[in-house]
Amino acid sequence: MKTGDQIIVNPLSGERITILADEPGGEVLVWELRLAPGGRVPSGHAHPRQEERFTVVEGCMRFRVGWRRVVAVPGDTVVVPPGKSHHFANIGAVPARAEVTTTPALGMRDLLETAAALAADQQAAGRVLPRLTDLVLFMRDFEAEVASPLLPGLVRAGIRLLSAVAERHGPDIRYRRLRRAGAAAR
């Protein structure tokens, strides 16, 4: 198992991620999530083939897993099965910390790095929302790791169509540069 102290910071969500273990072959990714007060994952989402297991170590986090809402405190574990829509946020006044295990890892590490690079670019540009091209290409590149919680098949078909258009007309160049920058942080 490869271990390290790579840190990924997402300035928009308040996430600070430390990769703790990245098993060769993509079986397991273990990471520490530090979430600033008021920080939250940007939107509800699902992982089509992965289970995520959050064990809260410090602070207080709110999770939505499907229709179920859970407030988790230190010692609590929240399991998100594959394909289940979910969202999480820090509802406390202090940073929250959780150990997260993603099984199988697939490209989750690359997803986290790319999301942080896109967020930093969005923040630097003063944009409230991500560029549509970036979002489409991100969702296409990581379709094994993340999906829309609503009408995933229809959204996936739309993403494939829009990403083909983006690649033909050039807006994907900036996205590719940001994706490489995220991976270069390793």
> Which pLDDT value is given to residue 182?
63
Q: Tell me the sheet residues that pair with 3.
A: 21
The answer to whether the bond into 74 is cis (omega within 30° of 0) is no
pLDDT tens for 122-162 read 999 999 888 888 888 888 899 889 987 766 666 677 777 77
Domain coordinates of the chain in residue numbers?
2-107, 109-184
> Which pLDDT value is given to residue 152?
61
Q: What is the pTM of this model?
A: 0.86
* CATH architecture type of domain 2-107: Sandwich (2.60)
Measured at the alpha carbon of residue 75, what is the angle toward residues 70 and 30, in degrees to the nearest 5? Answer: 90
pLDDT tens for 36-57 read 999 998 788 999 999 999 999 9
Identify whether the C-beta of residue 68 lies closer than 8 Å to the C-beta of residue 50.
no
